[in-house]
Amino acid sequence: MTNNYQEKMSLYSETYRPQFHFTPKEKWLNDPNGMVYFEGEYHLFFQYHPHGTTWGPMHWGHAVSHDLLHWEELPIALYPDEHGAIFSGSCVVDWKNTTGFFEKGNGGLVAIYTNADTYPESDRPRQRQSLAYSHDNGRTWETYEGNPVLSDEDITDYRDPKVFWHVESERWVMVLATGQTITIYTSPNLIDWEFASEFGQNEGAHFGVWECPDLFPLMVDGNPDHMKWVMLVSIGDNPDFKEGSRTQYFVGEFDGKTFLNHHDADAILWLDHGRDNYAGVSWSDIPEENGRRIYLGWMNNWRYANQVPTETWRGAMTLPRELTLISTAGGVQLLQKPVSEIHSIRKESKVTKVIELTEEAYLVEGNHELMEVNLVVTLEAAKEFNLAIHHSSEEKTNIRYNRITHLLSVDRTQSGEIGFSESFPAISECPVALMDDTLSLQLFLDSSSLEVFAEGGRGALTNLIFPRGINHTLSLTAIGGGAQVEELSVTELSSIWEKGVCAYE
Ligand code: FRU
């Protein structure tokens, strides 16, 4: 007989179990789905295989949170049905009851997702869009009797609907991944859909199948009179490219039917330069008075997602991040920062000011298993700045800034367990231009991930790491000349599951 108490105590404390990122109690997770805010709760649904720790027949798992950090996992929301498995999709609040699914009042939650099966007597995949609705804040769901509501026999990869209410045209808008383009549909009621336009041919990167789009407006430089629309598009794994699956974005305008890219058609804008941030989309229906656009991705890569060395569960989400737009010399770009709610897991900080760096390592010892590091360093004569996180005497992850190439890199080739996939031991690189030769970095180190944000979120590198050692020591060096750390703060972070386990009791 299992010892119930022990089982509960060890849940969320397994080797490599993320302590401040969402993971399911057990089994396989991939894309975030149906992210919506409704009646005080942030909902996070996710691609879920409850019968295994590798990808399989997809369900929608479900968790809720009040602060985007502490999650309570709820029972599975959607199960495979007569139309197939439940692939990625979105949720909206049907405030005006345009569907007629709700009695009256404030409407309720509607999920729009892809049903995936195969054509009759054929192996050819069939992907069609369906609806489900909930009368009890997402706890239980009914599928719509008229499912599927949108299909196209010519297009095989036809999935991942993200839907939002377009105020000016008073219509629902759906962005749908259709092969290597995004097709836009509109609807008065989420049930009847009409083709509006297609975006993406000869635009951006086409290294793999396009998946999981999102489309939303943001202010540029915080100016409400200067709005632009952002389109996110994830690109599936292609063995010819070492990066595996990754996410690009476009910035432009949208009139309710057509998206116009404002960057050059061949410009490629990566959302994150690390290897492990995929299929991310943003929360729907965050109240206007809050006004944030909050994003979260699957912290993994299709290249090796089925092999990462965790046992009882597999798959985690990134930290939730607030997205904003800023204008730069290269055009308008996305900026991402962990949400401010992160303060709730901060413990004490140790702040050190003015450290002169040379080629001899400056060591910061006695660090924490879970930590945030904030650092501002002026490069002075240095050609390179190096911050190594030593997990043990044999394992380290290196963060390096090269002043000549202007590349910030994260090297996980010696970060711990790396042998489960040839593609895993990698160095990821992000271009970062500096102002006044000063670099600012914010790092979040969890049991099996490192998220690096540079220059207030202009650059992001999200990477999984599997260090066996957890006695982290930081070592800082300047190469080819001196550098000065203006400020270094190391903050211990607490586990989100202290609460999670209580909720589980
Ligand atoms: C992206 C994706 C989606 C699909 C889902 C299936 O990671 O391939 O396109 O809906 O995963 O689990």
H helix or E strand, kind and range, residue 504: helix 497-504
165 Cβ partners below 8 Å, 6+ apart?
92, 95, 171, 172, 173
- Averaged confidence pLDDT in the chain: 95
Strand order in the sheet with 194-199: 158-166, 171-178, 181-187, 194-199
Contact 271, 280 (CB under 8 A): yes
DSSP letters spanning 204-258:
S--SS-EEEEEEEEEEETTEEEEEEEEEEEEE---TTSTT-SEEEEEEEEE-SS-
Check pLDDT > 50 for residue 501: no
CA of 87 to the centre of ligand 1 (A): 6
Quick check: CB of 237 below 6 Å from ligand 1? no
CA of 31 to the centre of ligand 1 (A): 7
Check pLDDT > 70 for residue 217: yes
Measured from the Cα of 298, ligand 1's closest atom is 7
pLDDT at 275: 98
Distance of CA 235 to the CA centre of its chain: 14
| Annotation: CATH topology of 341-493 | Jelly Rolls (2.60.120)
**Cis ω before 148 (30° cut-off from 0):** yes
Closest residue (by CA) to atom 8 of ligand 1?
A: 211
CA of 89 to the centre of ligand 1 (A): 9
Quick check: CB of 159 below 6 Å from ligand 1? yes
CA of 19 to the centre of ligand 1 (A): 25
Contact 500, 12 (CB under 8 A): yes
Q: Which of 302, 342, 291, 301 is nearest to 319 (CA)?
A: 342
Q: How would residue 499 be classed by pLDDT, with cut points 50, 70 and 90?
A: very low
Q: Cα torsion at 14, 17, 23, 29 (round to 10°)?
A: -90
pLDDT at 471: 87
Q: What is the pLDDT of residues 311-329, one digit of tens each?
A: 999 999 999 999 999 999 8
Q: What is the pLDDT of residues 435-467, one digit of tens each?
A: 899 999 999 999 999 999 999 999 999 999 999
E runs forming strands in 10-157: 27-38, 41-49, 59-65, 71-78, 85-93, 109-118, 125-134, 142-143
Contact 243, 280 (CB under 8 A): no
Ligand 1 pocket test: pick from 49, 87, 278 the residue with the most ligand atoms within 8 Å of its Cβ.
87
Whether the model clears a pTM of 0.75, i.e. scores above it, the answer is: yes
pLDDT at 7: 54
Tokens of 131: 């609806």
Give the chain's count of helices (H) and strands (E). 2, 34
Closest residue (by CA) to atom 9 of ligand 1?
A: 211
Quick check: CB of 399 below 6 Å from ligand 1? no
CA of 156 to the centre of ligand 1 (A): 13
pLDDT at 214: 99
pLDDT at 121: 96
Check pLDDT > 60 for residue 216: yes
Q: How would residue 297 be classed by pLDDT, with cut points 50, 70 and 90?
A: very high
Active site residue 31: yes
Measured from the Cα of 55, ligand 1's closest atom is 12
Average pLDDT over residues 121-138: 98
Quick check: CB of 158 below 6 Å from ligand 1? no
CA of 316 to the centre of ligand 1 (A): 15
Tokens of 19: 């302590």
Question: Spelled out in words, what is the top-level CATH class assigned to the domain 16-338?
Answer: mainly beta
Query: 296-327 burial, b for 16+ CB within 10 Å, e for fewer?
Result: bbbbbbbbbbbebbbeebbbbbbbbbbbbbee
Q: What is the pLDDT of residues 16-69, one digit of tens each?
A: 999 999 999 999 999 999 999 999 999 999 999 999 999 999 999 999 999 999
Check pLDDT > 50 for residue 2: no
pLDDT at 504: 34
Average pLDDT over residues 129-138: 98
Ligand 1 pocket test: pick from 128, 129, 160, 303 the residue with the most ligand atoms within 8 Å of its Cβ.
160
Contact 129, 149 (CB under 8 A): yes
Quick check: CB of 212 below 6 Å from ligand 1? yes
Q: What is the pLDDT of residues 155-186, one digit of tens each?
A: 999 999 999 999 999 999 999 999 999 999 99
Check pLDDT > 90 for residue 107: no
Measured from the Cα of 114, ligand 1's closest atom is 10
Q: What is the pLDDT of residues 223-268, one digit of tens each?
A: 999 999 999 999 999 999 999 999 999 999 999 999 999 999 999 9
With a pLDDT cut of 70, the percent of the chain lying above it is 96
Quick check: CB of 293 below 6 Å from ligand 1? no
Q: Quick check: helix, strand or coil at residue 493?
A: strand
Q: What is the pLDDT of residues 269-290, one digit of tens each?
A: 999 999 999 999 999 999 988 8
Distance of CA 396 to the CA centre of its chain: 25
Q: What gap in Å lies between CA 412 and CA 428, rounded to an integer?
A: 8
Quick check: CB of 279 below 6 Å from ligand 1? yes
Check pLDDT > 50 for residue 153: yes
* Segments making up each domain of the chain, as ranges: 16-338, 341-493
